[in-house]
Structures are given as C-alpha cells and as structure tokens.
Amino acid sequence: MPPPADIVKVAIEWPGAYPKLMEIDQKKPLSAIIKEVCDGWSLANHEYFALQHADSSNFYITEKNRNEIKNGTILRLTTSPAQNAQQLHERIQSSSMDAKLEALKDLASLSRDVTFAQEFINLDGISLLTQMVESGTERYQKLQKIMKPCFGDMLSFTLTAFVELMDHGIVSWDTFSVAFIKKIASFVNKSAMDVSILQRSLAILESMVLNSHDLYQKVAQEITIGQLIPHLQGTDQEIQTYTIAVINALFLKAPDERRQEMANILAQKQLRSIILTHVIRAQRAINNEMAHQLYVLQVLTFNLLEDRMMTKMDPQDQAQRDIIFELRRIAFDAESEPNNSSGSMEKRKSMYTRDYKKLGFINHVNPAMDFTQTPPGMLALDNMLYFAKHHQDAYIRIVLENSSREDKHECPFGRSSIELTKMLCEILKVGELPSETCNDFHPMFFTHDRSFEEFFCICIQLLNKTWKEMRATSEDFNKVMQVVKEQVMRALTTKPSSLDQFKSKLQNLSYTEILKIRQSERMNQEDFQSRPILELKEKIQPEILELIKQQRLNRLVEGTCFRKLNCRRRQDKFWYCRLSPNHKVLHYGDLEESPQGEVPHDSLQDKLPVADIKAVVTGKDCPHMKEKGALKQNKEVLELAFSILYDSNCQLNFIAPDKHEYCIWTDGLNALLGKDMMSDLTRNDLDTLLSMEIKLRLLDLENIQIPDAPPPIPKEPSNYDFVYDCN
C-alpha cells in the first residue's frame, strides 16, 4: 500500500550527531515538526531552530515552501533565520578584521535566501551595509596597502550581500543617499579596482537606473560614458557585459529629449568601434549574456529612428521641401535654371513635375504628400538624401536608368524608397522595446556609424536589381517587395560580420536563386497531393509522430538550462531540469553558472514525479505570467513561458531560452501526459519527415505518373481452363 500523500520521508542532519531518518506529516505545523526534531536530540528552545535544505542552496524551510520537500530530501537542523540574522548583524560590526570578513562572507551566502533576507532587512541590515560602504571604506583606506587582499574581499562580500538582499525586492531602491551612489560610482570610476568589486558596483548602478527615476538622474550625474569606456577595453567579458548593461540602462531610462544627445556622446567616444574591436572581434566566443546586451544596444540605437519614422512631412515646411529639391538637383543637375520672370513660372512647374515623375514619386505635383504616411514618415526622405549624397553615382545611375525607360518596366525610386524604409523598420522592429530573452544581435550593424542608412543603400540597390531581373511593371510592385524582403531576411539569418559580407550574400540570392529555393520548398511541401500519396501519408503519419515523440523525450532526458529572470534586473542565475531515463521523474535544481554539457541527476536536488503532473499551461495561463511587473508584459517572454501544475496549488514555472526549446519542452511534457504535440516545431518536423519518407518510398517510381485513382479491376474470365492444377 503506498504511503499517504501528506507523509514525506526525509533525512535530517545536526552537526556532531548521526543523521536522523523520519517521516514528516505535511498537515502538522512546521513548529511542531521542529520541536519533535529538537526533542529527539535533547535540544531546548526549539523556537530558536529551523530546518533548511542541506544542499548548496541552504534555503530555509517555511510554511510557504514546505510543499517542495520531496521523499528522500536531506534537511539540516540549524539556527532560525531570525537568530542567524541577529548574530550576523552583530558579527559584521566586530572590531576584529578576520571576524568581520568571515561574517560578511556568511552574509553574502545566506542573503540569497528570501526568508533570511527578510529577517536581516527587518534589523535595518541594508542601512548598516550602506553605512559600511559609505564610511567604512575610508576607515580601512589606510590599511589598504598592508592588507589589500583583506580590504578587497571585505568590500566585495559587502557589495555581494547588498546585491542579493536588494534582489528580493523587499526594499525600495529610492531610499538610498547621494553619498552611497557617489561611493559606488567611485569604485567604477577608478582605473585599478578589484574585478569582483567593479562587477558588483556596475550591477548596483544598473539596478538603480532601471528601478528608480530619481536614482537614474543621480547616477547619470556621477557616471559618464567616458568613465565606462576603459572597462570595455579590458579582456574580462563579464566586466564588459556589466558595462554595456549600465550604458543600456542609462540609454533606456533617459528622457526622449536626452537620448539623441546621449547617442551623440556615444558616437564621439567611439563606443561602436571599441565594442567592435574589443568585444565582437575579440579572440573569444560571445556568451549569451553579452549577446543579449549587444542586442539591447542595437535595438535602443535603432529606436532613435522612431521619432523620424513617426514624423509626417509638412508640405508647407520650406526646409523639408528643400530636401526634395536637393534630390532632384543631384539627379538631374539642371544646366540652366529658368529665369525668375513670371513668364517662366509655368515652364518651371512643368519641368519640376516631369522630374518628380522620373524620380518615382506617386504625387508628381507635390511629392511632399508622399511622406505624410507614418511609418516611415520623414525617415524615408532622410534615407533617400543619404543615398543621394554618400552613394551619388549609384543614385544617379538608378534614377536615370529608370527615367529613360519607356517600356513600363521602370522602377519608381521614390515609391520604392518609401516602402523599403517601412519594410526595413519592420524587419528591425524599430520602436519596439527590447526583449528580456533575445540574443539576436547583428555584428554588421556595429561596423558603421550610420549602419541603418548604409543598410538602406545596399537594399535599395538590391531592389532595383531584383526589379530588373523580374522584368516587373508597376502592377508587380508588391511582388517585388515580397521577394526583396525574402532576400534580406535570408541574408540576415547568416549573421554577416560586415556590410560588405551582407552585400555579397545578397549577390548570391538573385531572383533566380529565390525561385529555385521556393520551387524546392514547394516540391517538399506540395507535390504529393494525389489520392494514393495522401493515403500513404495517412498510413505512415503515426510512425513519424512516434519518432518525433521519442526525439522530444530524449531531449528532455538530456535536459535544459533555464535562466532565472525577474522584473528588477537580469540575473546570471540558472536552474536545470531533466527527465529521468525511465521517463517517470523530473529532476531539477539551481546552478551557480551555466553548465557545459549535461548535468547529472544526482546533482539536481529536487524531484517531481510525472504521475503527479496535473496539467501543462502556457503563455498568459502561467501563474508567473499573471504577476505584475515589467517583464511579465513583454510579448516575447510571454511566448516562451510555460508551467507544470501539480498537487494542490503547486507549480514549476519555466521561461524557455528560445522558441525551439519551448516547443521541445511543451511537446515532451504533453507526450508524457498522453496528449497531442501541437507546437509549430512538431508541424514542421512532421512535414519534413513525411516528405522525406514518401520520397524514399517513391524512388522506384521516379518519372512515372501516379494516377489519382487505382487502375480498374478486369472482368472475370469466361472460364478458368488456364489454371494449372498442381494436384
């Protein structure tokens, strides 16, 4: 007979004693269980004790999290969080440097536990730490020469404890003084500073900027881009990552009117070229966190274009109209301007109208009207002027080449530029906030100060080339734009390292090549629609689905590393989850760092029997997506979220690292529960594998037309004399 669901068998340790095996009744109050354990070892004052996990996490057991205790868990009897917090509060104020250092080390470790953190914060522990940072460092400054390692470790542990305590979101960031901000900023501004201190100081500044508008203003006064640049020129990728994170935070929280000013400062300090040299082209792999920060910087930089993208042209604004005049002047370079006499006014208007038609504007009389649609608004005109001035030969060639054609195959430069700008803004998601999980940065955009404009210049020449290859007319405009979008998207997926490499990728993606790719994809997807083939598909589909199911379960057995995220700041904290080889238990647990390869089952302290899983929910239905917070509103995070519901009101919450892992896990979990696998990945895999299997089975029928209906069965013969009787 199986044990009752409320009874959990655990082992409990106590220093200097043999571990005790006991059954915990989850219906009993936790205080009663602790008293029972204390009585077993003859320990008085049970209220001064608590239970905690004996693994590396050392998290306390509370009434809130006690349901996470599973059979076979090893617990430890220890002093209560309140007692521990009180003792550490006193120890970190010790006059002995060694005792103080040891206490701060313990505090940095214990502060990860929210139960301990709450008790320590209740003792005004945050204020004590900030005072130590503000004033204590001066006191030990004199000792720094003779005991520099001790001083560095002490400050490092102090800042680590502060970061961990603040990360729980119990205390508001708005409560900190200018003196504390100045002190943290001073650690960042010093040229020679201990790596761990610098790293934590940068993390604190990032959190201050992201979580408080008032602190943003104070930090912005203390930290300049020029002071952050040297940290990017080092070789420590973590320091570089935190430095870019601080720059991104300052960029993100800057008022709209200050963002362009900040972008100009970044350009003056040559931030882009420094990142390109010391980060992107450094002789080492870029980790996920760095890739994310580069992606955020890329998005924030492109978002500076949003203002121009959403600005309509004012037909009465002479300065804006002068840009159109300049486009016309560069293209046609009128040899002689008409005299300003009243008699030539009609002639001038007629000439302008003719030239604007050659430039490919929809409204020949007043082309300013073409730029009243947003997006792309004035951004399209900016791009056209940049192309005309910086790639003048190509601009003149495209305009004259198309204006001299009379076969209705001319490519309208003006209309094309406007639609292309709009399309490029959609591809690069200009105006959208950066995702919390995306790492999709493009190295080529860090190779030029005007990367978007150069991107446009390459693509407008591609559009003109594709137009000619398609022998398109104005009726084919949308078709051409679709082909160009496909060419650009396919070239971007290869992550070219420079704009020149991007250009060469596009050279290989001619219209003919796109047709071949489309034809190949059609062959794979659509060429088997006859009835016999459909019947064959239906017959072998269950085999393919079983194959996909096994692959999903095998991937769950390998496991995945998930990142812990919260709405306060992006964390370098990880947890791992994997399925047991017999498909009966999910093993999971926290990790100190992202693992290299698989994580063994025995190093994952928590278990969840598959039989206990009640349901798998995704997106908005996930409990952790219903909480309030900036992160929870992010559309991309919402698309990667899923939760396992088990027992009563218990859940295991996930945010997948990418869409592929999301599909793998939701498919695998649904397969474990005997439900259909409904992800996009399953549909794609099913289509691909079905197509391959059918092609293999039809190899012997190559070039043979398969009829839609089976051949008719012939009539019975009049006699069976031809049958040979063996008997």
Q: Does the pLDDT value for residue 147 go beyond 70?
A: no
**Over residues 342-370, mean pLDDT:** 83
Residue 145 pLDDT grade (very low, low, confident, very high; cuts 50, 70, 90) = very low
Residue 595 pLDDT grade (very low, low, confident, very high; cuts 50, 70, 90) = confident
Q: What does the pLDDT read at residue 709?
A: 73
CATH classification of the domain holding 636? 2.30.29.30
Residue 136 pLDDT grade (very low, low, confident, very high; cuts 50, 70, 90) = low
- Counting the structural domains of the chain, the total is 4
Percent pLDDT > 70 in the chain is: 90
Is 385 found in the same domain as 298? no
Q: Does the pLDDT value for residue 554 go beyond 60?
A: yes
Q: What is the pTM of this model?
A: 0.76
* 727 within domain boundaries: no
23-37, pLDDT tens digit by residue? 988 889 999 999 999
**Over residues 579-586, mean pLDDT:** 92
Is 356 found in the same domain as 277? no
* 58 within domain boundaries: yes
Is 318 found in the same domain as 304? no
Residue 409 pLDDT grade (very low, low, confident, very high; cuts 50, 70, 90) = confident
643-692, pLDDT tens digit by residue? 999 877 788 989 888 889 999 999 999 999 999 999 999 999 998 898 88
Residue 602 pLDDT grade (very low, low, confident, very high; cuts 50, 70, 90) = confident
* 145 within domain boundaries: yes
69 close to 8: Cβ distance less than 8 angstroms? yes
Q: Does the pLDDT value for residue 524 go beyond 60?
A: no
Q: What is the mean pLDDT of the chain?
A: 86
Is 150 found in the same domain as 286? yes
CATH classification of the domain holding 299? 1.25.10.10
* Collapsed DSSP state (helix, strand, coil) of residue 380: helix
Nearest to 472 by CA among 553, 402, 411, 513: 411
Using CA atoms, how far apart are residues 689 and 550, in angstroms rounded to an integer? 14
* Collapsed DSSP state (helix, strand, coil) of residue 652: strand
48-107, pLDDT tens digit by residue? 999 998 877 778 999 888 887 888 888 999 999 999 999 999 999 988 888 999 999 999
Q: Does the pLDDT value for residue 425 go beyond 80?
A: yes
Is 491 found in the same domain as 358? yes
**Over residues 132-156, mean pLDDT:** 63
**Over residues 196-209, mean pLDDT:** 92
For residue 133, count CB atoms less than 10 angstroms from its CB and return exposed for 0-12, middle for 13-18, buried for 19 or more.
buried
**Over residues 279-286, mean pLDDT:** 89
CATH classification of the domain holding 21? 3.10.20.90
Q: Domain ends where: 521, 550, 569?
A: 521
* 113 within domain boundaries: no
619-643, pLDDT tens digit by residue? 888 887 776 444 444 667 788 889 9
Is 353 found in the same domain as 277? no
* 108 within domain boundaries: no
Is 366 found in the same domain as 245? no
Is 277 found in the same domain as 162? yes
641 close to 655: Cβ distance less than 8 angstroms? yes
Is 19 found in the same domain as 160? no
Q: What does the pLDDT read at residue 569?
A: 44
Q: Does the pLDDT value for residue 527 go beyond 70?
A: no
How many Cα atoms within 13 Å fall on the side-chain side of residue 694?
24
* 536 within domain boundaries: no
Is 546 found in the same domain as 413? no
For residue 208, the surrounding DSSP H or E stretch is helix 195-211
Residue 308 pLDDT grade (very low, low, confident, very high; cuts 50, 70, 90) = very high
Q: Does the pLDDT value for residue 139 go beyond 60?
A: no
Using CA atoms, how far apart are residues 21 and 160, in angstroms rounded to an integer? 36
* Collapsed DSSP state (helix, strand, coil) of residue 368: helix
* 16 within domain boundaries: yes
Q: What does the pLDDT read at residue 565?
A: 64
Report CA torsion sign: 72, 73, 76, 81.
Answer: negative
**Over residues 99-118, mean pLDDT:** 92
Residue 572 pLDDT grade (very low, low, confident, very high; cuts 50, 70, 90) = low
* 468 within domain boundaries: yes
Nearest to 53 by CA among 723, 606, 559: 606
Query: Of 86-90, 95-99, 452-456, 590-594, where does mean pLDDT reach its minimum?
Result: 590-594
Q: Does the pLDDT value for residue 334 go beyond 60?
A: no
Is 140 found in the same domain as 287? yes
Of the two residues 712 and 430, the one the predictor is more confident about is: 430
Strand segments (E) across 346-397: none
**Over residues 458-482, mean pLDDT:** 94
Residue 727 pLDDT grade (very low, low, confident, very high; cuts 50, 70, 90) = low
End-to-end CA distance of the chain: 66
Domain hosting residue 226, numbered range: 132-308
Is 177 found in the same domain as 252? yes
Using CA atoms, how far apart are residues 195 and 192, in angstroms rounded to an integer? 9
Q: Does the pLDDT value for residue 146 go beyond 70?
A: no
